[in-house]
Amino acid sequence: MIKMNFRQDSCLPEKVIVPYMRKVLKFLGSMQFALILLLVLAVACAFGSFITQGQTLTWYMTSYGERAASAIMLFGLDDVFHSAWFVVITAFLCLNLIFCNVSRAPGLIRLWKTGFVPEKREKTCGRIYGNTEEDPAKLFSDMGFRKTASGSYEDGTGYRYAVKNKAGIWGAWLCHLGIMILIIGFSVGQMLKTETSVYGVPGQSKRIGDTNYVLSIDQFRIDLRDDETVDQYTTDFTVRNVSNADEMSGTTSVNHPASMFGMKFYQNSTGWAATMHVSKGGEEIQNGVVCVGEVTPIAEVPGLSIIIQAFYPDFFMEAGGEIGTKSSELNNPYYLYIAYYNDRVIGMNALGASEYITIDDLTVWFTDPQTYTLIQITTEPLAKLALAGGIVIMLGLILAFYVQPAEMWARKKDGVWMVTGTSRKGGVLFDRALREKMMQAEIPVHEESSEIPAGESDEAGIRVTENEDVKSLKDDAAPEAQNAGKDAEAH
């Protein structure tokens, strides 16, 4: 057995592997990787929407051709959103967000605690400058800064400083956190989610999946409008725990699910059902409610089953043999049935209300057509976590887009205030607003690119701050202040 010792062995692992791992970790949390993942996810989603999902190889061969069908099956494009590679990409996105947020958090905390102070702004200031003998506090106020701090530096020069929307620095970070919470909540939620359904007509009781609960359908209503369109589907039902006889009743309708025993009950769909009777030698040996599409075995003859393939409440048949229903009223009910024996079709026909089928010595007929209700029952433990993630994303976006940190700073030298302001995210729009406010206040405006001759007066006759003074503010930008600025805007 070969034992590797990174510390004592040659310098290779220490000097090569560690920096290499560091590079990998850095890449995993980088914006470059995030951009790749966003684009790949977008393309994968587009594929998933263009290729019909969840079909068989035969279906794809018929629809797209043999080669394309093979490629679809090979790359898991028949179930993109549940494929291993899609899950891996999403997991990488999560990793990217985690690495990014963890690496940015210290910088943001530092920025939040110590980044917004006049000493820092002295070193990184904006692109718009103005010089005035008036106190700039009013200009600050006009720019929407409520509080202005005053003080003086060690060299005795006075300053005015104001900051607003500090909370905005957390926007992107919160947005990332929200996406992480949403992805984790949704993914784990999908794994823990249970989903089943119960269908039947009033009076029927059925077990809910493999739980200890039994659902009884008490009543099912279809509310129709005057034009016979459906207004609402409503089911009254009762759920009973068979182990301890706990019982609760509820009502579910479309858009109004019911909750009980940790489960949610949705009014999912409806259809037609009828009572199927089977008799032998004049004696009824089997009867029960069957829904359209439901295969019902005939207990008397193993292997024999019957299915109502379709139901026509107001049946008609045209001369060409085309069949259908004129309305949803039960004026002329007909059942299109198929009889199977050991999975082989042995009979198929449309059966009227007073007609019956004879299979050897058995007689089968249908009565009491009525609508059944289908209730979907789910438990989704982490759904609220995913929703919380969505809310955090919204909060993050609002902070990132509309709470943009901005600062105004002024330094008094030789009786003249040099005023400037900056908002990295506000960019040119902040600069434009500042320029307008300065012009309204009749403060001569200089921009970053402007040449400001040292010691000369501008058009308004106000002494301009020395060029070196302005230049030093830009040039001496402290590394930590620059980093703080990056933190505020980085991925």
Partner 1 sequence: MGNEVFLSAENILFTVAMIGYFISMILFFVFLAMKNEKAGSFAAYLLSACFGVHTVALVVRTIGAGRLPLTNNYEFATSFAWGIALVSLIFIFRYQFKALGAFSVPVIFLVIGYAAMQNKEVRELMPALRSSWLFFHVSTAIIAYGGFGVSFAVSLMFLLRERMNSSEFWNKHIPDREWLDMVSYRAASLGLLFLTFTIITGSIWAERAWGSYWSWDPKETWSLVTWLIYMFYLHLRIRRGWKGRGAAIFAVVGFICVIFTYIGVNTFLPGVHSYA
CA distance 179 to 64: 36
- Hey, which residues between 320 and 379 contact partner 1 (CB under 8 A)? 376, 378
| Among candidate residues 456, 455, 458, the one with its CA nearest the CA of residue 438 | 458
Min dist CB 224 to partner 1, Å, is 10
CA distance 1 to 39: 44
Contact 421, 406 (CB under 8 A): yes
Query: Is 87 near partner 1 (CB under 8 A)?
Result: no
- Hey, which residues between 7 and 26 contact partner 1 (CB under 8 A)? none
Task: Lay out the site mask for partner 1 across 191-210 (x = CB under 8 A, - = otherwise).
Answer: ----x---------------
Which of the ranges 13-21, 110-118, 295-303, 389-397 carries the binding residues for partner 1, by CB under 8 A?
A: 389-397
Contact 197, 252 (CB under 8 A): no
Min dist CB 49 to partner 1, Å, is 4
Query: Is 397 near partner 1 (CB under 8 A)?
Result: yes
Query: Is 289 near partner 1 (CB under 8 A)?
Result: no
Quote the crossing angle between the two packed helices 57-64 and 66-74, to the nearest 10°.
Answer: 140
Query: Is 81 near partner 1 (CB under 8 A)?
Result: yes
- Give the residues across from 129 on adjacent strands: 420, 446
CA distance 23 to 469: 40
CA distance 268 to 377: 9
Which of the ranges 16-24, 65-73, 298-306, 398-406 carries the binding residues for partner 1, by CB under 8 A?
A: 398-406
Query: Is 390 near partner 1 (CB under 8 A)?
Result: yes
Min dist CB 130 to partner 1, Å, is 20
Query: Is 447 near partner 1 (CB under 8 A)?
Result: no
Query: Is 401 near partner 1 (CB under 8 A)?
Result: yes
Of 361, 448, 468, 489, the one binding partner 1 (CB under 8 A) is 489
Residue ranges of E strands in 313-392: 315-317, 323-325, 334-341, 344-352, 357-359, 362-379
| Among candidate residues 174, 167, 158, the one with its CA nearest the CA of residue 105 | 174
Min dist CB 204 to partner 1, Å, is 21
Query: Is 383 near partner 1 (CB under 8 A)?
Result: yes
Which of the ranges 36-44, 67-75, 340-348, 456-464 carries the binding residues for partner 1, by CB under 8 A?
A: 36-44
172 versus 290: smaller Cβ distance to partner 1: 172
129 versus 186: smaller Cβ distance to partner 1: 186
**Binding-residue total with partner 1 (CB under 8 A):** 52
Of 130, 168, 257, 444, the one binding partner 1 (CB under 8 A) is 257
Q: List phi, psi (to 5°) of 443.
A: -100, 125
Q: Which residues contact 294 (CB under 8 A, 6 or more apart)?
A: 307, 308
**Cβ neighbour number for residue 434 with a 10 Å cutoff:** 28
CA distance 471 to 477: 10
The conformational region for residue 107 under phi > 0 = left, psi -120 to 50 = alpha, else beta, is: alpha
Query: Is 39 near partner 1 (CB under 8 A)?
Result: yes
Residue owning tokens 């089953």: 305
Query: Is 230 near partner 1 (CB under 8 A)?
Result: yes
Tokens of 115: 């980044």
Query: Is 91 near partner 1 (CB under 8 A)?
Result: no
Tokens of 316: 């008609």
Min dist CB 154 to partner 1, Å, is 36
Which DSSP state fits 466?
Answer: P
| Among candidate residues 183, 76, 223, 131, the one with its CA nearest the CA of residue 444 | 131
- Summarize the chain as % helix, strand, coil (round to 5): 35, 35, 30
208 versus 307: smaller Cβ distance to partner 1: 208
Site residues (vs partner 1, CB under 8 A): 31, 34-35, 38-39, 41-42, 45-46, 48-50, 53, 81, 186, 195, 225, 227, 229-233, 253-257, 264, 266, 268, 376, 378, 380, 383, 386-387, 390-391, 393-394, 397-398, 400-401, 427-429, 432, 489-491
